[in-house]
A and B are shown apart, each in its own frame.
Chain A
Amino acid sequence: GDSVTQMEGPVTLSEEAFLTINCTYTATGYPSLFWYVQYPGEGLQLLLKATKADDKGSNKGFEATYRKETTSFHLEKGSVQVSDSAVYFCALMEYGNKLVFGAGTILRVKS
């Protein structure tokens, strides 16, 4: 079945450092890919998405490019802030409306 693998955390960075969180997927077709963010005590918020190969999703300084050849959708940000501390989930949606999530990566940003 479909699956998503994320790099394990926690990832600890200093403010203004460069962020990469790796995500790879396995799917039979051509899924849409998503990054969601979860702040403490809250639900999931959609951060960005890409619906086809080579699409780049971007939002709030975060970006991710849909790479079909490497089945990857790595999340990047050039300069992280303390307020970016959260759990980040990579997910795919292939058929219907069902999301398949990775295990999540905790990001901690120190000032």
Chain B
Amino acid sequence: DAGVTQSPTHLIKTRGQHVTLRCSPISGHKSVSWYQQVLGQGPQFIFQYYEKEERGRGNFPDRFSARQFPNYSSELNVNALLLGDSALYLCASSLRGAENSPLHFGNGTRLTVT
């Protein structure tokens, strides 16, 4: 079975632009979470979606938004990009959105903002 797939793998954008990152969860998984990993740091939680509803949001500005589609895939959108948004963006899926439902991570999208 395919794991969590993310696209694109790499992206270069200019300050002020917007970006859309995509994630397809493991088949049968209904929850998707997004994490930001800045170089040299641990991943930071951005959003969690379960059954197409937002279940949690981390400490990120409103420039960050996300949604989950009926097929459980998800998009992360970032508007008005800043240099500090340069990071590896990780998507994780799980069977349920509940505690102890193991998270399976994709390989991430490397975003560079110049």
Contact = CB atoms under 8 A, between A and B. Distances in A.
Given A97-B33, A97-B48, A44 B99 contact: no
Q: Is the interface of B mostly helix, strand, loop or mixed?
A: loop
Contact of B100 (A44, A46, A51, A104): A51
B94 to A, nearest CB: 6
Contact of B55 (A42, A96, A99, A103): A96
B102 interface: yes
B107 interface: yes
Contact of B42 (A41, A51, A89): A89
Interface string B82-106: 0000000010101011111111111
A95 B45 CA distance: 13
B4 to A, nearest CB: 8
B111 to A, nearest CB: 15
Size category of the B interface is 20 to 34
B25 interface: no
A66 interface: no
Interface residues of A, number: 25
A94 B98 CA distance: 10
A41 B106 CA distance: 11
Interface of A: 4, 32, 36, 41-46, 49, 51, 89, 91, 93-104
27 contacts: A4-B42, A41-B107, A43-B90, A43-B107, A44-B90, A46-B103, A46-B104, A51-B100, A93-B99, A93-B100, A96-B56, A96-B97, A96-B99, A97-B94, A97-B96, A97-B97, A97-B98, A97-B103, A98-B33, A98-B56, A98-B58, A99-B45, A101-B42, A101-B43, A101-B44, A102-B42, A104-B42
Interface of B: 4, 31, 33, 35, 40-45, 48, 50, 55-56, 58, 90, 92, 94, 96-108
